[in-house]
Chains A and B, each alone.
Chain A
Amino acid sequence: MLDRFRDLVSNRHQYAQEWKAKTGGKVLGYLCCYMPEEVAYAGGILPVRIISNNEPQEFSSVYMASFFCPFSRDCLGEGLSGRYHYLDGITVGHTCVQINQTFESWVLHVPTPYSYYIPIPGIAEANSLKPILADELADFQGTLEELTGKTISGDDLQRAIDVYDTNRRLLREIYELRKADPPLISGAETMDVVLSSMFCDKAEHNQWLEELIRYLPQRPDPPPPGPRLMVVGGENHDTTLLRLIEAQGANIVVDDLCMGSRYFWNLTPPDSNPLMAIASRYVDKPSCPVKDIGNKGTDPTQRPRYRHIIKLAQDYKVQGAFLVYQKFCHPQELDIPSLKKIFDQLNLPTCVLELDTTLAEGPTKTRAQAFLEMMELEVV
C-alpha cells in the first residue's frame, strides 16, 4: 500500500509522461510551494514540482555560484541534464533568491516553451496583499489560457480548489494518525505520501489517500514505539535522512518542511471569487522563513512562523526536534539560533543538521544516535 507512493516519487518523470500521453494535457513544472497550482490544474494542466535528485552534478556550476544552495543548483542541473524534457512550461511564485536564480537560468538555458514568474510579495500586510495576488493570478490564468487554447472558467477554478482542498484534508487526516503513540505511519513514509502528491494528478492521489487512510489503522507493521521527534526546515525531500533517523529507534511525528506540512497545511477559505480564495490561501499559509516578516514586536515567539511551529510541537507532543537546512540556505540557517532558543524554552532538545547534495550517512547516523542517547539521558 505504501510502496505505491514511494514508487511514484521514484518514477515521477515516467508518471508525468504517461499522464501527458493519456490525456493530451500539458505538464507545468514549478519551483517552491508558493506557486498556486490550482490555477494551472483548473486549465487541465498537470503541475509537477521540480526537485533535485540528490546526486552530484556539475551542469549548473556554469550559471550558478558555488555558494548557492545545493537544492537550487541541483534543480537547475536536473533541467540541464534533460530529465524534464517533457515539460511544457516552468513557473515560480516569488521566493528566495536562490530558487529565483534557478528559474531565471532555467528559462535561459533549458528549452521550455512557456515560462511565467508570479510576483508574490512578502507577507508584511496580509490583507492588503490578497486582492493584489488575486490580480496577479488573473494575469497568470490569462497566460495559461494562451498556452492551452482553453478558457478557464470560474467553475473550473472552483473544481480545482475542491480537488486540492480534498487532497489537503486527506493529508491532514494522515497527519492526525501520527498523533497516536506510536504513530500509525512513520515520518519517512509520510514524506513519500506528501511528495507523491506533488507529482500526481490530485484527483487520482485523493483516491490513493482514501485507501491509505482505511488501511493504516489495521496495518500489520506499524512503527515501533520510540521518542517522538519533529523535523523543521526547508527544501528537504531526502527520505533517506528520515529513514536513517527512524532506524535509530525514533519516530518523526510531524514536520515543518516545505516538502512536508507547509505544502498542504491550510485549506482555501470560501470566497465568491475563486482567485481571491486561492490568493487568501497562499497568503495565509504557514510561512517559510523568506515570507515570515510580519512581526513588529521583539519577541520571537510571536513570529508567525514560530507560533505555528510551537503549536505543531505541542499538538503532536514532540520530545525533540531536528532542525535541518540546506547548506547556504540563508533564510533557513539565519533562523536556526532563535529557533533553537524557542525549543530550549519548551524544554525540547534539538539537533541541527546541515544538508548537502548527498547525505553523509555515516556522520549523520552518528549524530542522530548521539542525539537520541542524549535525549534518553535527559529523560532519566
Chain B
Amino acid sequence: MTYQTEPIKHFEIAKGLRELHYQRVMTAREQGKLLVTGGANMLWELMEGLGEYEALEGEPYGATVAHYPELAAVTAEATDSSGYGRDVCAYIRSYWGSMFLNRSPWGEFPKPDFAAHFYTSHCGGQEKWYRVLSEHLDVPYFVMDYPTLKPRNGVITAKQVERYVPYLASQFNDFIEWAEKLTGRKYDDEKLIQAIVNKRRCQMLWGQICELQETVPAPLNARQMFNLIIPRVHWATRKEGVDFHETLLEEVQDRVARGIASLPEEKGRFIHDFVPPYVAMDILRHLEAYGAALVTSMYVFNWGYGIRDDRTWGPVESFGDLGHPPRNREEALNHMAFWEILREPWLNMFSPELKTGYYVDMVERYKCDGVIFHINRGEVGGVLGLLDSRYALKQKGIPCLVYEASASDKRDVDIVKVVDGIDAFMESLGMKKLA
C-alpha cells in the first residue's frame, strides 16, 4: 500500500529556530545577556530566574560543529593533539576542539560567562567536559550532583524521595545564591516558576506527539524527530518553546487525521536507539530505502511526559506533588527536585531490566517489527545496558540489529560495514529494497 506523504512544516521551522538560537548565542554578550554553558540536561529553568541569558548546551553544540566537515576534522584533531583520547565522546571532542582553536561555525568560540552542569554521572566525561572548559578559559563552574538511584525493580522508595528531594533542592538553592553573587543579578522567582510551567507543558506536548507515532502509517520518522527535538533542547523553558510544540502537535494531529505518512511505503516499523548518527544520516536513509519506518525511540521520548508511580512512561499530572503550580522559590525548587528524582524519564539511565521492559512495551504499542540499536562510539552512558536489552529482546523473539557508528565523528563510521549489516538484517526479515 502506498501512502500519501508531504513535508513537515515544522521541520523547517525547527531548523530556523536552531539558527536563531545560535545567532542569539553568538551575540549574547554584546547584548548584555549572560552566556552560560552546560549539558543539554542542565536544569535551564534555574537560569531563567537570573534574567536574560542564552545557553550553549554542550551536546547540540558539539553536533553542530561536527556538521561542518572542515571544522569537524580540525576540531577533532585539535582535541586529539591536546592529549585527549580518540575514544572519548565525539560531542566533547568537537566542543573542546572548537574551544582550543577558538573557532566556531560563525566566528570565534562563544566564551561563556560561566558553566553550570547537572551531573547525572550517566556518562564518564560529563563533569570533565565543563571542568576542562572552566580551567582552560578561566570560567567559573558550578556542578549540581544528581543521585543515580538505579531502580532495578522499578521502584524508587518513599524513603529515597524523602532523602534526595531536600538534597537536590538545597543544591539548587546553593546554585542560585552562587549565581547571584557571581553575576550581581537579583534572582527573580516568578521567572523561575514560569520557566518550570513552560517546561512541563513542553514535556506533555512532546509526549502527545510521540504517542501519535503509534498510528499506522507513522506521521513522522526518526530523521524528522531528531530535528524536531531541537527547540525542546534549547527553549523548553520559554514561551517560544511552548508555542512551537503546540503548533507542532496540531500539525501532527492533522497528518494523522488525513493519513499523511512519513514514508510512502511502510514495509516494517522499528525502534531506533540511541542517539542518531548525525554525521552519517545516510544510514537512516538506507533503512528507509527498504520501507523501514523508524517510528519511535527512547532517545526522543526522553523529553516527553514523565514516569508514573508504577514506573510506566506516560502522561502525569505536571504538578501532582504540589497540587498546583509552584507559588514561591521553595515550592519551585522542591518540585524540581521531586520531578528529577521521580518523574523525569532518564530512560537511558535505567537498569537493563527496566529498559528491556520499556522496549517490549514500545514494540507492542508502536507495532514494531524489531529494534535497531546504534552504538555511538565513546558514549558509554547511552550504551549502558543496551546490549543486555538486545540479548533479552532476542530471547523474546524480537529481531534486533546493532550497528556501531558515531554521533559526531565521521572518522568513526565505517559506512560500508554498517550498510552491509543493514542489508543482511533486512534480508533476514524478508524485506527488499523498494523500487
Contacts and interface: CB of A to CB of B under 8 A. Distances in A.
Contacts of B152: 104, 107, 117
B125 A122 contact: no
Interface in A23-68: 62-68
B353 A293 contact: no
B145 A124 contact: yes
A135 B159 contact: yes
Nearest to B350: A104
Nearest to B355: A104
Contacts of A101: 380, 384-385
A65 B140 contact: no
B167 A293 contact: no
B148 interface: yes
B123 A97 contact: yes
Interface stretch (A82-90, A162-170, A260-268, A296-304): A296-304
A122 B121 contact: yes
B114 to A, nearest CB: 10
Contacts of A293: 119, 127, 143, 145
A340 B146 CA distance: 29
Interface stretch (B46-54, B77-85, B415-423): B77-85
A74 B122 CA distance: 21
A338 B84 CA distance: 10
Contact of A330 (B88, B141, B160, B352): B88
Given A121-B167, A290-B121, A330-B125, A97 B384 contact: yes
Given A104-B351, A298-B135, A340-B83, A119 B148 contact: yes
A135 B163 contact: yes
B384 A124 contact: no
Chain B: interface residue count, which band? Answer: 35 or more
B132 interface: yes
A63 B391 contact: yes
Contacts of B124: 96-98, 290, 329-331, 334
A336 interface: yes
A125 B119 CA distance: 13
Interface in B332-383: 351-353, 375, 377-378, 380-381, 383
Interface string B161-186: 00110010011001000100000000
Nearest to B96: A334
A299 B87 CA distance: 26
A139 interface: yes
B352 A298 contact: no
B134 interface: yes
B95 to A, nearest CB: 13
* Chain B contact surface mostly: mixed
Contacts of A63: 387-388, 391
A109 to B, nearest CB: 8
A128 interface: yes
Contacts of B122: 97
A122 B135 contact: no
A331 B119 CA distance: 13
Nearest to B402: A65
Contacts of A105: 352, 388
B352 A121 contact: no
A100 B125 CA distance: 15
B170 A125 contact: yes
A337 B82 contact: yes
A125 B352 contact: no
B362 to A, nearest CB: 20
Contacts of B388: 63, 104-105, 108-109
B87 A67 contact: yes
B139 interface: yes
Contact of A124 (B84, B143, B392): B143
B171 to A, nearest CB: 6
B147 interface: yes
Contact of B139 (A128, A295, A298, A300): A298
A256 interface: no
B258 interface: no
Contacts of A68: 380, 383
Interface in B112-158: 119, 121-125, 127-128, 131-132, 134-135, 138-150, 152
A123 B147 CA distance: 10
Given A101-B384, A121-B147, A132-B163, A334 B125 contact: yes
Contacts of B386: 65
Nearest to A123: B145
A121 B145 contact: yes
Contacts of B148: 94, 100, 119, 121
Contact of B121 (A94, A109, A327, A329): A94
A333 interface: yes
A300 B132 CA distance: 9
A328 interface: yes
A132 B145 CA distance: 13
Contacts of B139: 298
B140 A297 contact: yes
Given A125-B170, A298-B140, A336-B83, A97 B159 contact: no
A94 to B, nearest CB: 5
Given A62-B387, A94-B121, A328-B87, A296 B159 contact: no
Contacts of B167: 121, 125, 128-129, 132
B170 A128 contact: yes
Nearest to A124: B145
A204 interface: no
Given A65-B387, A333-B85, A124 B377 contact: no
A233 B319 CA distance: 45
Interface of A: 62-68, 94, 96-98, 100-101, 104-105, 107-109, 117, 119, 121-125, 128-129, 132, 135-136, 139, 289-290, 293, 295-300, 327-331, 333-338, 340, 354
5 contacts: A68-B380, A124-B145, A290-B127, A295-B131, A327-B87
The 8 tightest CB contacts between A and B, nearest first, are A330-B124, A124-B145, A337-B83, A334-B128, A122-B145, A121-B147, A330-B125, A97-B380
